[in-house]
Amino acid sequence: MLILISDAFDASLPERLKDFGEVTDDKSRVAEAEVVLIRSKTKCTREYIDAAPKLKYIIRGGVGLDNVDQVYAKEKGIRVENTADASSVAVAELAMALMLAPINHVVAGHNGMAGGKWLKKELKRTELYKKTLGLIGIGRIGTEVAKRCQAFGMKVIAFDAYVDKHEIAELKSLDEVLAQSDFISLHTPLTDETRSMINADRLALTKEGVIFVNTARGLVVDEAAMTKALESGHVACYATDVWSSDPPPADCPLTSAPRMLMTPHIGASSKENLGRIGDIVVDKLQGYQK
């Protein structure tokens, strides 16, 4: 069997998979592949699946399966699985970094000093302590963020369309979360329901000076509406790891908007997480071969 490693995985993985069959990262061999390992870059669309007649198993190292046409894969009898539990801590830690960096002026302080400026008087910090965090989506990653924010002394509230009790967060309606939060962190999958969920009407419900953190998916946020809210200063920061595409297109209004804090979709890319994902892939292939 040919195993195609189509995206970035732990460097040790090709060696670890050799016992299961031939391993390649040559994407032009997709037509021969029985197993394809992807992260978020490879898009397993209908066309991709049609170009891979031997394909039986897609393993997505990570969580979101919005880059796989799951309906068509099922129709073709292709098994599709993710490594859902591996990434929660890695993504939650990035969400904390994106929350802490703007209120501590980490980037401005660094850039100031690199440019020979001592901005001690200009850079007034604020704290997470006693602020309200609103989580939208409180599954695996949302829960890890809730735990960390609770430890920072924050009040944690959440809206989740499919969860009605939670051990840490006080559950509220979406409008209440939007209206009451100082920080809003997004943790839903990208679905038809969540696409552009954060739009102009919903942004209008938020507090002046709210900080948004997005480690979920770029398209959960309406980019044009967010750009306007950043330009007016209503949103004090949009700290995002995720984009409408990877990388965002040249005309993405957010990359040149004020009050942005940007990372290039690295939420799951910790060394430790890539190791955990590799372990799960090996376990899955062991199960597949039995």
Contact residues: ligand NAD, CB under 6 A: 62-64, 84, 87-88, 91, 136-142, 159-163, 187-191, 193-194, 215-217, 241-242, 265, 267-268
Taking the least distance from each CB to ligand NAD, the nearer of 2 and 135 is: 135
Look at residues 10, 11, 68, 28 and name the one whose alpha carbon lies nearest to residue 2.
28
Taking the least distance from each CB to ligand NAD, the nearer of 33 and 91 is: 91
Amino acid 144 reads E
What is the per-residue DSSP string for the chain? -EEEE-S---TTHHHHHGGGSEEE--GGGGGG-SEEEE-SSS-B-HHHHHT-TT--EEEESSS--TTB-HHHHHHTT-EEEE-TTTTHHHHHHHHHHHHHHHHTTHHHHHHHHHTT---TTT-----STTPEEEEE--SHHHHHHHHHHHHTT-EEEEE-TT----SSSEE--HHHHHHH-SEEEE-----TTTTT-B-HHHHTTSPTTEEEEE-S-GGGB-HHHHHHHHHHTSEEEEEES--SSSSPPTT-GGGGSTTEEE--S-TT--HHHHHHHHHHHHHHHHHHH-
Taking the least distance from each CB to ligand NAD, the nearer of 51 and 161 is: 161
The distance of closest approach from Cβ of residue 287 to ligand NAD in the complex, given in angstroms and rounded to an integer, is: 21
β-pair type (155-159, 210-214)? unpaired
The distance of closest approach from Cβ of residue 18 to ligand NAD in the complex, given in angstroms and rounded to an integer, is: 28
The distance of closest approach from Cβ of residue 24 to ligand NAD in the complex, given in angstroms and rounded to an integer, is: 25
The distance of closest approach from Cβ of residue 35 to ligand NAD in the complex, given in angstroms and rounded to an integer, is: 21
The distance of closest approach from Cβ of residue 106 to ligand NAD in the complex, given in angstroms and rounded to an integer, is: 19
Taking the least distance from each CB to ligand NAD, the nearer of 52 and 268 is: 268
Taking the least distance from each CB to ligand NAD, the nearer of 1 and 163 is: 163
Taking the least distance from each CB to ligand NAD, the nearer of 61 and 102 is: 61
Taking the least distance from each CB to ligand NAD, the nearer of 23 and 101 is: 101
Chain position whose Cβ is nearest to ligand NAD: 139
The distance of closest approach from Cβ of residue 289 to ligand NAD in the complex, given in angstroms and rounded to an integer, is: 27
The distance of closest approach from Cβ of residue 290 to ligand NAD in the complex, given in angstroms and rounded to an integer, is: 27
Compute the distance between CA of residue 218 and CA of residue 224 in angstroms, rounded to an integer.
12
